[in-house]
Each structure stands twice: as structure tokens, then as C-alpha cells.
Structure 1
Amino acid sequence: MSLRNPTSHPRTIKTISIGSFTFESGEQLPNVELAYERCGPTDAPVILVCHALTGNQLAIGSEEEPGWWAGLIGEDCPIDTNRYQVITFNVLGGCHGSTGPASIDPNTGKAFRQNFPKVTVRDMVHAQHSALQSLGIKEVQAVAGGSLGGMQAYEWGLLYPEYMKKLFILAATPYLSDYGIAFNHIGARAIKCDPNFQEGNYESNEQLHGFEIARMTGMVTYRSGPLFEKRFDRSHKAGDAYEIQSYLDYQGDKIKERFDANSYLYLLDAMNNHDIGRGRDGWENAAKQYKAELHTFSFEHDLLYPDSLIRQFAIHPEKSSHYHIPTDYGHDGFLVEFERWGKWIKEKLD
């Protein structure tokens, strides 16, 4: 696939088959595929980037459509594609080319929908490891990700402790808090209670007003009160609508155009069940098992992944550092203002 590149290095967008895959649940699929983006010198050290809930494999993107980490990744950026090759997979259970609920079940010839196997963060990591092996990549320099991507980075360091030298975990805690589960529950209920959801057998996202509400709920938690006050200041749009209301309506409409509601539910469930201590005698014990150099980042006003819990975690690994970034963006701070914190990633990579 040929696209104009934000860097002068080759950029590849492909799908790779990892063959038969067994989920943590014990269910098995005969042919699983992962879509990925790859950019940078092919002989350079690899950095694996993991995406968040509604992200995808296009972390770098093109000049026409920059990726969600464009500016953090690229030539002379903190993650420098002159020095590293960067690979990002669309997660197992996703809806941008990887096998997920919208994929065709070979046994029925129809989309899996809610019959897709339950997916965990550990399943995502195992699938990515298999894909890297298929690509001939035996080790990586680092694994980096924020939010759901940070959850994957946590698990990478425990499931394959010798596979990477460094971990960069942004805006993610060692387990999802009850507060985070609560907001995910509201979003999931909004989708499932929509009459057009039909137990996952909806005709299209366009019918799902509950999906809009789920996204609006999420957006309120991703940003902060101070940011909303500065950006909207109770200003009105046309008629009686406030700017903040129009903004949330826009976000609700936009998510339906680019994401599958069933996939959204599956990934919410994976996040709910994220806990590095599961089966490892608690998260504090698991935190002592990391072998890679580990760097955590928290963002001010992050309601879902508080600095206090990330700091608690960061004292346990043998080789770790923690950075707290003052910002009004809250949880979404890991997607913006790279000039504030990208320097620390560059410093630790170099």
C-alpha cells in the first residue's frame, strides 16, 4: 500500500496471519490475522507501539492523515524513525483489519459479532508476539503505549520479560480501578440497552444512539474540567445549544463512522479485566518480576489512571523511573503536548 510518508523512510501497511490462536478462555480460532503499520530502516532496532481503546495501527500515518502519535514518532522526533523502526498492530478484537467481532466466522460465513471469543489484554500480547515472530523479529528495543496500550506494555514485560530492553507505560495503572470499570459499565450499558443493538446483530453503527452516549461518557473522563472551562467557557453555538454540547454530539457521531460497537464492547471488557496481579499473587508481587528497564508516565487530572497508583507501582521494579506531567488534558495528555514529555522518552531510548 503506497502512501505519502511523514518521514522519508518506507512505510508499510499490511496484514499478517499468525495461524491458529488459542485464547485465555480456551477457545480457538483457526486463522487469526493482525493488521500493522511499519516504518523506519528495516535493519534498525524495533520499537513496538501499542494503541489505546479506539486507536488503531496507524500510529504514524501519512502527511494527509497523520497518525495518533505523529509528532512523537517520526524523523528527529522523540521516537526517531531515522534510528528505529516502529511497528504498531491493530489489537486482536479490533476493527481495523485485525481479527475481531466484525470478522467472518468460517463456520457460519457470517460476522462473529457477540460470538467472538472473549479477549484479554494477555491475548492481545500473545497475538502480537506471534506476529513479530512471523515477521522474523526476535527481540525489540522497547514497547510503548498509553491507556489500553499501556496495559499491553505492562503485560509484555511479564509475559515476555526477555523480549524487550525497555518499557514505556503511559497513562495506565497495573489494574483498572473500580472508578474506571464504573464508567466503562455506563458506556457498555448505553450500547446494549439501545433497542437497535439487537444483542450485537445491528445492521450498522448509524442506528446506535447508545454508542454515541458511550463515547460522550468516555470523552468526559478523558479530558479535565479545567480544559473544558478554558475551551468552551459556557459559550453558545446556534440556538440554545452550548458549545460543549455540540462538541460531545460531534464526538458521538464521529465514533460511529470509524469504530465497530461490538469491538468497542470487547475492548472495554478486556480493560475491565486488566490486572497484572491476576494469577501472579497480586500486583505488587508481579511488579517485582520485571526485567526490562521500565518508565511510567502519569498525567495531571487523569481521572481513570491516577498518579498515586502509578507511583505505587513504580517503586517495585528494580529498574524504573516515573514522570508526572502537569497538563489540563487529563488522561488524553498522552496523545498531545509531546514537547512537554517526549524528551524523557528520547532520553531513555538514547
Structure 2
Amino acid sequence: MSQPADNTTTPADSAGVVHRQIIELAAPPRQMVLESGAKLGPIEIAFETWGTLNETKDNAILIAHAFTGDAHAAGYYEDEPDKQGWWDFMIGPGKGIDTNHYFVICINILGSCMGTTGPSSTNPDTGKPFGLDFPMVTIGDMVEAQKMVLDHLGIKSLHSVIGGSVGGMQVLEWCVRYPEMIRSAIPIATTMRHSALAIAFNEIARQAIMADPNWQQGNYYNDSKPDLGLAVARMVGHVTYLSDDAMRRKFGRRLQDKNDFSYDFGVDFQVESYLRHQGTKFVQRFDANSMLYITKAADYFDLKDRITEDRCVRELENSRSKFLVISYSSDWLYPTYQAKELVQTLKRSGQDVSFCEIEADCGHDAFLIPDKRLTDLIGGFLHGIN
């Protein structure tokens, strides 16, 4: 199968220095009302921007990140030049999402631990971390929080909303909730609703966290954290992001720094070492409770039933949005058949939809790997939006 081109960036050709911004919204008595009926506020929301917002404020593109991602989609921090954004090959001057033309914004999702209010944040009522007192949030709640940021910035329309995986779910939610704001949408490697398989893997990850004795019903912030459970959860999730071809090419059955089996339960195979490394690295940056909340929000998401409701159909029929749906041939977490179901559903509601399946053997995470095919596809589509 075709391999993505190697067009990795360096600080010299990246989107440049970027600064994380945090604003506080939904202060009492105007708390945010969540889909569950619970109220939350005040809420701190982290975001980053690239490019310049024009006078009419109609050149904005919203980037929706995947579930363990953050707002640092491109560029680098002045004091951390090696910490480039997760989509730096895509966003910047002259790139697929060209910051010479567009004002690009990425907002950290509600429930996260990367600058936006989540279960690890301080509960204003107690002065302690929320833990499981944090209310359950949905993809819709995440979109509403993003909408508050855009309202704060005075942005009333979006040239495009773009995202992959759980970010793609947010893209679709935006199109259903605020079709009048969206001129184009690019959902990538995503689905209208989780399959039983996807829910099952998320449940295994949650159970791994909750089975860790250090989890303590979510009240671990002043004690040892459930690092082992979170590491196992990440290992499980990471396997779903890859593909059989990618794992066979990268690891096969090669041994890790040895010529024979150890005949114990240590690391024998390279793939074992890799997964343990991924788990260890993950616990250093992410909160276990956020993992619980965000995976549950993804499991709750179900656009397929909602988009057939009369209200949603009417809203979409009045939309002038153009859609570019992208899938990957080796993505077995959100397979291409699910992208085709999305395309068919959108077409039935009268939408202008283009579809592309990219041939790649990297699995679900392929959209995060530098690939000129993807940048050219997105850049060309955006250029054609009036």
C-alpha cells in the first residue's frame, strides 16, 4: 500500500511561535447547562490561534482535536521549540490550512485536562478537584463550549470546521447544531456513532483505570495516581489506532534487545516494549478521570438517529455547507463503510458531499501522520469554498 510522504516540519518551517490562551466563561449565575441537565460554571477554556482574523471575521477555521489531544495543533512555544503542534504539517503559511488566508483556532475540549475545565480542575464549591463530582459531558456540550469561545471572539461564521476521530464527531455536531454558521466541514476518520466494537474497547480502558487500587473512586489527586490502570488503558487504545500491516511492518515478532525468550513475564517482543513505552509516556501528560469522561462522551454520540429527525433534516436542508468526508483504507476502528454511511445520510438530507478514501496502511491514526495527499486534498477543498 502507499506510504505517506515524509514532510515533517522543523521550527523554521512550522506555523511559528504560538501562545496558549485561557478565558473564563459561564460564570454564575449564567452557568452552562449541560445535556444531562447539570449546570457548570465558571468554565476555563484553553485555545490557540494562528493567522489573522479579517475585518468581517469570516475567514475563521475551527480545528477540533481528537479525544486525548489538545489545542496545540500547530507551531511551537517560545520556551519549547521542540514541542511542535500535533498537526503542524497541515497548518501554517502555504500549507493545506493556509494561515496566510485563514484565521485558525483550536479549542481544548470540555472535560479535558489540557487547560479546559475537567474532573482534575478545582470545584469552586469545595476548593478541591472535582473528581467524579464533575458532571458527565457530551460531544454536544463540547461544541457548546467552543461556541462560547467563538461568541467571545465575535466570530459568527466559519469558513470550515475540521477534525479527525472524536474531532470529526465534533465537526458533525457543529453541522447539526449550527448549520447556518458553517460554510464547509471536513470530518476525517470518524463515525456517526460508535460500533459495539468501539464501545467495547473504551469499556476495557475504563475498567482498567477503575480496577487500579489507586483510583479511589476518582479521588486520587492528593495521593498516588492510578498510573498502572491508565497506562493499560492507553495500551489498549493505542492498538486500535494502528493496523495489522503497520504493526507487522514496524515490529513483526522481533525480540527486544535479546536473542531468545526470557521465559518470564518481562518484555520479550519489541511490540511489548513499544506499548509499555506508550503507556508510560501517556500517564505523564493525561488525567485518568478525563479518560473516563471523554471515552464515555464518545460512546454516547449518535448522529445517525438524530440526523433523520425532522428538526435536524430541516436544519441541514437549510444549510449551505459543503462536506468533504475522508476515510482511510486500513482504519478498523472507524472503517470506511462507516464513512460511506455518513456520506449517504448527508446526501439524503440534500447536502453537497465529496468523499475520499485514502489508501494507507497506518490505521486510524493515519490522519496525524504527515502526508502530502491529505494536505493537498484539504487545501484544494478549502480553496474552492466561497
TM-score by length of 1: 0.94
Matches of 2:24 and 2:305, distance apart in 1: 29
The Cα shift of 1:10 comes to: 6.8
Task: Deviation per CA, 1:136-173: give whole Å up to 9, x if none.
Answer: 11111100000110000000000000112000000101
The Cα shift of 1:349 comes to: 0.4
Q: In structure 1, the residue corresponding to 2:148 is in which secondary structure?
A: helix
Q: Tell me whether 1:16 sits opposite 2:23 in the alignment.
A: yes
2:289 is matched with 262
- The equivalences for 1:203-242 within 5 A come to 203=221, 206-239=225-258, 240=262, 241-242=268-269
Aligned residues: 346
Matches of 2:231 and 2:15, distance apart in 1: 38
AA partner of residue 71 (structure 2): Q
1:60 is matched with 74
- Mean Cα displacement is larger for which, 271-280 or 148-157? 271-280
Which 5+ residue runs of structure 1 have no aligned equivalent?
none
- The equivalences for 1:160-309 within 5 A come to 160-203=178-221, 206-239=225-258, 240=262, 241-281=268-308, 289=316, 291=319, 292-309=321-338
Per the alignment, do residues 122 and 245 of structure 1 end up closer, same or farther by CA in structure 2, a change over 3 Å counting?
Answer: same
Is the contact made by 2:254 and 2:270 (CA closer than 8 Å) also made in structure 1? yes
2:41 is matched with 30
Matches of 2:89 and 2:342, distance apart in 1: 28
The Cα shift of 1:103 comes to: 0.7
- As a proportion of its length, which structure holds more strand? 1
Q: In structure 2, the residue corresponding to 1:316 is in which secondary structure?
A: helix
Instruction: Give the structure, 1 or 2, with the largest relative contact order (CA under 8 Å, sep 6 or more).
Output: 2
The Cα shift of 1:232 comes to: 1.1
Matches of 2:370 and 2:118, distance apart in 1: 32
Is the contact made by 2:230 and 2:288 (CA closer than 8 Å) also made in structure 1? yes
- Mean Cα displacement is larger for which, 151-160 or 66-75? 66-75
Task: Deviation per CA, 1:27-55: give whole Å up to 9, x if none.
Answer: 11231121000111232711100000110
Is the contact made by 2:63 and 2:106 (CA closer than 8 Å) also made in structure 1? yes
Per the alignment, do residues 135 and 64 of structure 1 end up closer, same or farther by CA in structure 2, a change over 3 Å counting?
Answer: same
Is the contact made by 1:9 and 1:40 (CA closer than 8 Å) also made in structure 2? no
Is the contact made by 1:302 and 1:331 (CA closer than 8 Å) also made in structure 2? yes
Matches of 2:120 and 2:41, distance apart in 1: 16
Matches of 1:16 and 1:6, distance apart in 2: 29
Q: Tell me whether 1:132 sits opposite 2:150 in the alignment.
A: yes
- The Cα RMSD (Å) is 2.0
Question: Which of 335, 344, 349 is equivalent to 2:368?
Answer: 335
Question: Which of 339, 355, 360 is equivalent to 1:310?
Answer: 339
Task: Deviation per CA, 1:248-285: give whole Å up to 9, x if none.
Answer: 000010110010000111000000001114555469x7
Per the alignment, do residues 206 and 153 of structure 1 end up closer, same or farther by CA in structure 2, a change over 3 Å counting?
Answer: same
Q: In structure 2, the residue corresponding to 1:196 is in which secondary structure?
A: helix
- Mean Cα displacement is larger for which, 286-295 or 119-128? 286-295
TM-score by length of 2: 0.85
Matches of 1:212 and 1:9, distance apart in 2: 32
1:47 is matched with 61
Matches of 1:287 and 1:100, distance apart in 2: 34
Which 5+ residue runs of structure 2 have no aligned equivalent?
1-10, 263-267
Q: In structure 2, the residue corresponding to 1:162 is in which secondary structure?
A: helix
Is the contact made by 1:205 and 1:261 (CA closer than 8 Å) also made in structure 2? no
Is the contact made by 2:118 and 2:290 (CA closer than 8 Å) also made in structure 1? yes
AA partner of residue 332 (structure 1): D
